[in-house]
Structure 1
């Protein structure tokens, strides 16, 4: 269960919110009527990312292979085993990413209209793939202090207490528990922290 706005939401509801949010983000990126202007005129470049896995069962993560490329940056996820991420759409397609920052960009700028039914990311500092729909993402923003692929990435933790412990130890900037989010909280602004040049 995830808490949102003071109430708990289940995994199915969370996945529904992710699907709705991704569709709304794509509509905004493609120039529909949005908050930034009646004609959809805003600062977004209109980038849209396609699923790059033809068959993803959605119940469990698929294995990463050397033949895969990140759906956002085209880098090889197996070159970054401590950062890999992936997701599955309801229609059986999916996408793989070299980093959670690219996962964020895809979520807000996917061309797929099919809802997300599963997502996974490597837990920070490990090679353990965790359920990203239930994970806790620490939003670090100091790229100079990070030694990450693709410049900078959020830190992924399965356990909220581990995320809190990390932000308390992260000296380059003052972070609070407000800097820990769930996947359902990823929007264009958050994704731009990590892949603004690709959105």
Structure 2
């Protein structure tokens, strides 16, 4: 169970959400290898190429994305949130596409949550793909059901952990949370992409927000 910094008292996921709402959420775990915030790569847009509507640093790593199907994860791309290389994390990587043909790739769904909550461009997200936690393949990120796993000890080996768990079917998501023993979860802890808020971004990537 996650514990508040400086205390021995365990806290629940809902207490974490409340803490995030007041600006006192625990910062997300650091990177597990690969990349730094100063990295650049051929998959990122140059300053001149970043859309005129970009409003925060996440816009510095936009890529061309037609949105009709997933684009390939390649070494030149960098996650706009943590600057790691999504191609190195095949079990977790994901991507989103905006209506204007721009998009972003992420090493983890936790980073995708942060980006979605703080989108750097005005054009809406029209498509996305995320690795299903049990499907071992990309699923529709806009239709997926996400289990809000937050226990830092149980997810210590994950890149940028903890991360929400994506499922194509809600029934599978509910079955997963019922089997998850690290913390008490209910069906309220299964959300859609449309539900993702800045509070969720604070929980998952509090130290990486724009």
Does the TM-score normalized on the shorter chain lie above 0.5?
yes
Counterpart CA distance in 1 for 2:130 and 2:162 is: 15
RMSD: 2.1
| Aligned positions, number | 158
Could you tell me the TM-score, scaled by structure 2's length? 0.70
- CA positional deviation for 1:127: 3.0
Matching of residue 142 in structure 1 with residue 151 in structure 2:
yes
**Match 2:102 to one of 50, 69, 93:** 93
Q: Tell me the secondary structure at the aligned position of residue 145 of structure 1.
A: coil
Q: Tell me the secondary structure at the aligned position of residue 174 of structure 1.
A: coil
Q: Tell me the secondary structure at the aligned position of residue 202 of structure 2.
A: helix
Q: Tell me the secondary structure at the aligned position of residue 58 of structure 2.
A: coil
Could you tell me the TM-score, scaled by structure 1's length? 0.74
Gaps of 5+ in 2: 1-20, 25-54
Q: Tell me the secondary structure at the aligned position of residue 118 of structure 1.
A: strand
Deviations 1:109-163 (A, max 9, x none): 1221111111110001443000011000000111111131102100010111110
Counterpart in 1 of 2:84? Answer: 75
Counterpart in 2 of 1:17? Answer: none
Gaps of 5+ in 1: 1-35, 37-41
Deviations 1:160-187 (A, max 9, x none): 1110111011001110000000000000
Instruction: Answer 1 or 2: which has greater helix percent.
Output: 1
Q: Tell me the secondary structure at the aligned position of residue 59 of structure 1.
A: coil
Counterpart CA distance in 1 for 2:96 and 2:193 is: 12
**Match 2:75 to one of 51, 66, 73:** 66
8 Å CA contact retained: 1:82, 1:125: no
Distance 1:47 1:151, change over 3 A: farther
Select the structure with the greater relative contact order (CA < 8 A; seq sep ≥ 6).
2
Counterpart CA distance in 2 for 1:170 and 1:181 is: 16
8 Å CA contact retained: 1:51, 1:95: no
Counterpart CA distance in 2 for 1:47 and 1:57 is: 22
Counterpart CA distance in 2 for 1:47 and 1:94 is: 14
- CA positional deviation for 1:51: 6.0
8 Å CA contact retained: 1:137, 1:180: yes
